[in-house]
Amino acid sequence: MATSDRKINFAGIVLNGNRHLCAFFHSEDEEFRALLPFMVDGLTAGEKVVYLVNGNHIEEHRRRLKYGGIDVEAVEQSGQLDVIGWPPSVRDSDAFDQAKSVDDFLSAARNQGYRRARVVGDMDWASDNQIPDAYLIALEARLDIVYSRHNAWVICAYDLSRFSGVAVLDVMRTHPVALIGGVIQHNPFYIPPEQMLEELRERGEIDRHD
């Protein structure tokens, strides 16, 4: 399958190369204003769009997409848009399983014929579920590995009022590109996922096998 050669625009710049972005926001409005065009562009280009949100607020997020001009019923019915409650189930409780779920749905999208997928993670699901910082970072590192195997553009959106300093800093370190204050930059503080996982183990924050 040929990869799509369409350009990806986000926050006013064209993305290339690195595909796993973190984005930090001070409010939900600021967040939605930045993420909506990214999703609309993907839908318009015929790409798969996956929106990961807190499972208790799926309807609210769908309403906001509709309000933003997306024909949610139509694109959900066609299979182009999935709004998925996260974490996917109680069973998928560890970082390894969650990363596998993402790997699975990206493979499924490819099998459905989508040349590219856009994934937006509204990371409120993590703060709402009191996911420990170390676990969250282990998940981001594992996902960094998964995303490198797919033709997917990914934005992990963090509301700054909900996350600790440790979490924000290590989130920066697990994403090669970051959006801060509306500006996207390649992130020199990024470290490879294996190194991050090793550091978490050395700090004693995750188990050897995590």
Partner 1 sequence: MTKSDRKINLAGTVIDGSRHFCAFFHNKDEELRTLLPFIREGLDAGEKAIHVVCAEIGSEYRARLRAAGIDVAAVEKSGQLDVIAWPNSHLMAGGEFDPDHALKMIDQVLGAAREQGYRRTRGIGYMDWALQNQIRAGALMAYEARLNTILTRYDDPIMCSYDLSFTGGAVVLDVMRTHAAALIGGVFQRNPFYIPPEQMLQELRERGEFGRDE
Nearest to 21 by CA among 180, 199, 192: 180
Query: Which C-beta is closer to partner 1: that of 119 or that of 167?
Result: 167
Smallest gap, in angstroms, from Cβ of residue 177 to partner 1?
11
Q: Does 189 bind partner 1 (CB under 8 A)?
A: yes
Number of residues that bind partner 1 (CB under 8 A): 27
Judged by CB under 8 A, which stretch of 40-48, 67-75, 88-96, 180-188 contacts partner 1?
A: 180-188
Which residue in the set 6, 180, 201, 210 belongs to the binding site for partner 1 (CB under 8 A)? 180
Judged by CB under 8 A, which stretch of 9-17, 41-49, 55-63, 163-171 contacts partner 1?
A: 163-171
Q: Does 69 bind partner 1 (CB under 8 A)?
A: no
Measured from the Cβ of residue 104, the count of other Cβ atoms closer than 10 Å reads: 12
Q: Does 129 bind partner 1 (CB under 8 A)?
A: no
Instruction: Classify residue 153 as exposed, middle or buried by CB count within 10 Å of its CB (0-12, 13-18, 19+).
Output: buried
Q: Does 135 bind partner 1 (CB under 8 A)?
A: no
Alpha-carbon distances of 39 from 30, 100, 129, 164, rounded to whole Å: 15, 23, 25, 28
Binding mask 23-42 for partner 1 (x = CB under 8 A): -x-x----------------
Do the beta carbons of residue 170 and residue 137 sit within 8 Å? Answer: yes
Measured from the Cβ of residue 180, the count of other Cβ atoms closer than 10 Å reads: 14
Do the beta carbons of residue 194 and residue 201 sit within 8 Å? Answer: no
Q: Does 191 bind partner 1 (CB under 8 A)?
A: yes
Do the beta carbons of residue 39 and residue 121 sit within 8 Å? Answer: no
Query: Which C-beta is closer to partner 1: that of 18 or that of 101?
Result: 18
Helix 133-148 crosses helix 193-202 at what angle (to 10 degrees)?
160
Q: Does 173 bind partner 1 (CB under 8 A)?
A: yes
Query: Which C-beta is closer to partner 1: that of 109 or that of 126?
Result: 126
Residue with tokens 């963090």: 158
Q: Does 183 bind partner 1 (CB under 8 A)?
A: yes
Which positions lie near partner 1, rule CB under 8 A?
Answer: 24, 26, 158, 160-169, 172-173, 178, 180-181, 183, 185-189, 191, 199, 203
